[in-house]
Every structure is written in C-alpha cells, then in structure tokens.
Amino acid sequence: MSERKEFRDLAEPDAAREAIASLDLSPETERVPLVDARGRVLAERLDADRDVPGFDRASMDGYAVKARDTFGADEADPVILDLVGEVHAGVEPTVEVGEGKAVEISTGAVMPLGADAVVMVERTDEHESPRDSERASGEAASRVEIRTSLAPGDHVMLAGADVSAGQRALGPGTRLTAREIGLLSALGVDEVPVRGKPKVGIISTGDELVRPGNPLSDQSGQIYDVNSYTIATAVEEAGGKPILYPHAGDDYDEMERLLLEAEAECDLVLSSGSTSASAVDVIYRVIESQGELLLHGVAVKPGKPMLIGRFPDSAYVGLPGYPVSALTIFRTFVAPAIRNAAGVPEPTTATIEARMAVEERYGEGRMRLMPTGLVEDETGRVLAYPVDKGSGATTSLVEADGVVTVEPDTAYLAEGESVEVRLFSPDVRPPSVFGVGEDDPAFSRLLDTLDSPRYLALGSREGLRRLRNGVPDFAVATGDSDASEGTELASYSREWGLVVPAGNPEEIEGLADLVERDLTFINRGTDSGLRTTLGNAVADLAEERGTTRHELVESISGFEMTVKAHESPARKVAAGFADTGLGLRSTAEKLDLGFVPLGEETVRVLANPARERKDGMAELRAALESELVGVLRDLPGVRP
C-alpha cells in the first residue's frame, strides 16, 4: 500500500501568500501590434520621436491671415482683405499670405506661409469683387470682410503643441486603453513593447475526469472536467495566458511527463486534484523529485490540501479538486501573483460592502473563505448570505457572487453585521430578484421572461425556511405549504403521480402496487413539496387500511432512495434503474414515458412582505400576470 501524505503541519494563510510571492512568474517582454495592444501594460517608456502635430495647423474653419491686418477690426468697422486662395486638410499649401491678403482654410489644414492666425468663418463675410479690371489683371476676384481683431496664434495649433519630439509620451506600467492607443497612433507607433502575459499551464488530474464533449460513464463514476475551464477563464481575467494540457489520470509517469512538459513551456503550472491525503495522490512526489516543495497544506477552508512548489524554470501551485474550492483558492492566493507579474492592478470594484442577511455560525479554528451570494433589499442595500452546498457542488460556482473571509477566531457573523465581499468578477451584480423553493418546470419557464433573476430550486421546505429568515425576495412552495408564510402572488396546480416506462409494462395502477408488489421506486428529496404530497397520500392509504404510515413506507422498496430534481426519478426510470418514480405528468410526456396519475397539488408563489416594493418583485408580479397563463398552456398536466 502506498504511503499517504498527511497534513500534519498546516501553514497559515500568510505563509502561503509569502510562498507564492517568492515565486518568479515574470514573463518576457512582448512586442504586439498596436491594434492588439488594448488592455496590455507597457514594459518600457515610450518617447515621442516627432512633433504632434508636425506642422502649424488651423483649429477651425475660416480664413488664414496676418494678425496685424485685423488690428482694430470689429462689427462696426470691419477690415476687408483680398481672398487669394484656399487650403484643405491633407493638402500642401500652394499659396502665401501677404499683406492685406487672406486664404480660405479648413480645420486641420496646414497654415500657409505668411499667415499667423485664423479668423473663424462666423466672424466674416465673403464678397465678390465689383471691379472687372481686377479680374482681368489677375488680382483677387473675391474679398473677405473680417469683423474681429486677432492676435498672432489665434485658432492655430502650433507644431508640437500636443506632443513635442523627445517628450516622454507614456511610462512603463501604463495600462493601454483607448486614450493611450490614440496617442500612440498619433506618434505613428505600430508596434508596442508590453509586459508578457504569464503563461499558466493547467493540468487536471484524476481518473474520474472526462473533458466536455467526450462520452461520460456514470456507471464508472466519471464526471466532466470543470476545473480546467473555470481556472483557465480565471487566469485570463487575472492577466495571464492559460494553456490547457491533456488530462492526466492518477498515473505517476503520466503526471510527471505532463508536469515537466508544462514546466518547460510555462511560467506557472497549476494542477487541480491529487493534492489531498490519498494513496493515489502523487503530484507532491513529482515536485519533491524534480524541484522544491515549499508548502503542503494550508489552514484555510475550503482548500486545505494546497501545494506550492518551485521547478528549476517555473513555479507550481496545486489546487484542490473540488471546483468551488479550486476557484476560491485560486482567486485568493494565485490570482494576485499573476496580476502582479502581468502588471494588471486589482479592479477597484472587486470588493463591496454588504450586510449579513442571516446569522452564520463558525468555529473550526481556521480561516474560512465563505462562498457568498448577494441580494438587494427594497432600499437597494446589499445583503450577503452564505452559499454552502459542499465543496463538490459545481452549482455553487454560479450561485455564489464572491467570498467573505472569516478569521479563525470568529465564532459567528451576526445578522446585519457588515462584511467585505470579494467578488468573483468585477462584473458581478446582485440578481434583479432572488427566489428559493420548489423545482417546478412551469416556474422555470416563467423565469426566462425576467431580467437576471436568481432562483435556487432547493425544495418547498427550504424555500419557506429561508423566506421566514427574510433572505430571498420570494419562495415557491407546494405540498402542504402554508400560504401565510408570505404574500401570495399567484398559484396554479400540477398533476403528479408515478412515472413508469412507456407502455407501463408492470401495469402499475397506484400506490397500492408499490406497497403490495416487489417494485423498485425512486423518490424525491425530503425538502421537495412533491415528496410531502406523496407522504400525505401514503398516510391516507394507511388510514384506509387501518395501519400506520411508517409500515407502508417500510413496504415500499426504494421509498428512501431520493434524488434531487423533478426530472431525476423519471430519468432513472428511463435508464432502467427503477420500475417507477415520483414525478409530474409534464415530465413523463417530455421524456416519452408512461404516467399513472395520483392527484393534483397547488404551487404557490409567495412574496417576502418586506420586499414587495422592490423593482425586481414588480417585474415578477407583472410576469405572473401576463406570462403565466401562456406558460401553463404549453405544459401538460398544469392549469391555472
């Protein structure tokens, strides 16, 4: 049996930060075309090698003149100059302005020789010359009347007025936005020296992982590789360049090959999985044999099995295998190092202040990075609530908006206590409306008509519990739920029963068959309102038979075999894992399965009384009034 690597001496979080800060992630300078330079960071100072503009130019449409020819002119006593030509932008002047002369000029045009000012066209009038003899002799055919006095330089941008040759244009560390790109364009720069993006190799390990797009075997316990894609995206957000390497199993030689290949090509190598105390976790041994192991295990939750090491030519960080843990640890410890190497500052909007929506107790004695969701109350104040479905729950990635750091000596966070939430992305915004409750296909369709809602299908019981705690804006409940839990916004009924294979080969007719026959059954979870409705039906059957609900439940094979979503029992039946399952008529018909009806139950949408004036709730109310009937019409077994 292989020796297991235990976490006997967990490092403090600050030690992990120091270890990562000691790693050299600095990439080489790159030269990129100006068109690709947006968002990059200058690696060195850029000086102007020419004046901008490179010539004296008119700053408005009008007439180029000698300023002294206009001295004393005003509306009552204008001066009249001979018009001897015109100059347009982008054309070299071919005329010269002499005494008593003027040249028509366009904005941006080169000032003709002899001119030192421009009079705007609004302060002039142009006149045809009345003297035919002047035309014949080649003198000006038109004259311009000028009704204002000018000083030398009026309405003229002198050469180098914007940027002068030799002047420092931009310094190292400047992040290139549209403004800087415009300046570099004006200087004629077509290629820019920028800080290279740290190359970050990403390797996911574990025999159970399969890349999306490939077939998956549930029977073998396979799962899709989530970390490669979430971490790659997070690397890009931090300013790095992710490089995905082929998936590695738990084979030592293959891991070593991929790690060394990535080490030779990247500034930083990240792996996820194979860092915990398991007999198959061998990455730490690769690091010890090929480089230097700096740290193994950090006193932080989630993410204790973190690993930091140094190869001869690159750095290494091992992330936990669970997606939420991996992303949380990456953003907390690794992303700052990548941003520093890339010269990308942490966005100022990456943290917000919020108030705890509920009390959260904690007492494990190590730092906790608590995944946190956000919701706004009726006044627009941001509230934070814990999102904790277990480290392995990938849905927490989208249900959580950020992380609250809970220090080791914190016993609890009080309701209303101010906390700082580090957002997973600067683009994160609280949902327009937030609900919790029953997993219902009709309501799921209604949500599609709303703008950025968030709905957690955790079951009627959990929805009502959270509604009582005041966290969500609304709850959706069925079964024997009490409408007094909140303000009822709408209700409808759905037909429930037993989902069976197409054709009902076992000829199941009702609950009595489950009790009396050797049939396998798949149930819903205890938080589901549909499960409660079934339990009440079983109790009624027990009363009819003069027995107890418990005795009937004990006689149903699989009654305690529960699955999460409303389609899950039906899919188990379709796959041949059970004879029948608890479900809805709409689900059975969607999956082309048979259905044995057992009754109807009411679905209620209940508002948090304290949030009824919230804008998102007004949108929900409007959707229930205008869209619900159409949604119900399209689903079998559902009616208003």
Least confident segment among 48-57, 189-198, 459-468: 48-57
Domain 13-23+198-342, architecture per CATH: 3-Layer(aba) Sandwich (3.40)
Say which CATH class 441-639 falls into.
alpha beta
Q: Is 80 exceeded by the pLDDT of residue 284?
A: no
Other beta carbons within 10 Å of 375: 25
- Residue 322: what pLDDT? 79
Cα distances (Å, whole numbers) of residue 331 to 158, 302, 314, 328, 512? 50, 12, 20, 5, 54
Highest average pLDDT, of 195-209, 271-285, 479-493, 620-634, comes from: 620-634
> What pLDDT does residue 394 have?
56
DSSP result, 137-149: TT--SEEEEE-S-
Percent of the chain with pLDDT over 90: 55
SS3 labels along 193-250: EECCCCEEEEEEECCCEECCCCCCCCCCCCEECCHHHHHHHHHHHCCCEEEECCCECC
- Asked whether the beta carbons of 305 and 348 are under 8 A apart, the reply is no
The model carries a pTM of: 0.71
pLDDT of residue 484: 64
pLDDT at residue 4, as a whole number? 41
Tell me the domain boundaries of the chain.
13-23+198-342, 30-53+161-194, 57-157, 350-430, 441-639
The pLDDT assigned to 140 comes to 56
| Mean pLDDT score, 575-595 | 95
Q: What is the mean pLDDT of residues 409-438?
A: 90
Non-local CB neighbours of 538 within 8 Å, separated by 6+ positions: 511, 549, 552, 553, 556
At 7, the pLDDT band (50, 70, 90 cuts) reads very low
Paired tokens of 32: 């990129």
- Taking the C-alpha atoms of residue 564 and residue 584, their distance in angstroms, rounded to an integer, is 14
pLDDT: is 615 or 215 the higher one?
615
The pLDDT of residue 128 is 74
Give the three-class secondary structure for 516: helix
- How many angstroms separate the CA atoms of 301 and 447, rounded? 34
Comparing 542 with 282, the larger pLDDT belongs to 542
Mean pLDDT of 358-376: 87
pLDDT in tens, 51-89: 888 899 999 999 999 999 999 999 999 999 999 999 999
The pLDDT mean for the chain works out to: 87
Specify the amino acid at residue 421. Answer: V
Instruction: Please report the pLDDT score of residue 389 as a whole number.
Output: 53
**Is-contact 621 486, C-beta < 8 A?**
no
Least confident of 240-249, 332-341, 445-454, 603-612: 240-249
Q: pLDDT band at residue 272, thresholds of 50, 70 and 90?
A: confident
**Do 57-157 and 13-23+198-342 fall under one CATH topology?**
no
Name the least confident of 88-92, 272-276, 366-370, 452-456: 272-276
Question: In 412-567, which residue ranges form alpha helices assigned H by DSSP?
Answer: 441-447, 460-469, 511-516, 529-545, 549-555
Confidence of residue 276 (pLDDT cuts 50, 70, 90): very low
Return d(Cα 153, Cα 67) in angstroms, integer: 8
- Distance between CA atoms of 524 and 560, rounded to whole angstroms? 9
Judge whether 149 and 155 are in contact, CB under 8 Å. Answer: no
- Average pLDDT, stretch 556-567? 87
pLDDT for 384? 94
Question: Under a CB-based contact definition with an 8 Å cutoff, are residues 424 and 347 in contact?
Answer: no
SS3 93: coil
Contact predicate 29/165, CB 8 Å: no
Tokens of 570: 């039906």
**E strand or H helix that includes residue 617:** helix 615-626
Q: Comparing C-alpha atoms, which of 333, 342, 211, 348 is closest to residue 267?
A: 342
- Mean pLDDT, to the nearest integer, of 594-615? 95
Task: Return phi, psi of residue 341, to 5°.
Answer: -65, -35
pLDDT of residue 392 exceeding 70, the answer is no
Whether 304 shows a pLDDT value over 80: the answer reads no
Query: Omega into 302 within 30° of 0, i.e. cis?
Result: yes
In this prediction, residue 281 has a pLDDT band, given cuts at 50, 70 and 90, of low
Amino acid at 534: L
pLDDT level of residue 213 (50, 70, 90 thresholds): confident
Q: First vs last Cα of the chain: how many Å apart? A: 63
Which CATH number is associated with domain 30-53+161-194?
3.90.105.10
CATH for 350-430 is 2.40.340.10
Q: Residue 126: its pLDDT value, please?
A: 87
Check residue 331 and report its DSSP letter.
I
If one counts every other C-beta atom within 10 angstroms of the C-beta of residue 261, the result is 15
Q: What is the pLDDT of residue 102?
A: 95
Phi/psi of residue 247, nearest 5 degrees: -65, 135
Report residue 282's pLDDT band, with 50, 70 and 90 as the boundaries: low
User: In terms of CATH, what superfamily is 57-157?
Assistant: Molybdopterin biosynthesis moea protein, domain 3. (2.170.190.11)
Reported confidence tier of residue 606, pLDDT bands at 50, 70, 90: very high
**Position 241 pLDDT exceeds 90:** yes
Look up residue 631 and give its DSSP letter.
Answer: H
Going by pLDDT thresholds of 50, 70 and 90, the confidence category of residue 420 is very high
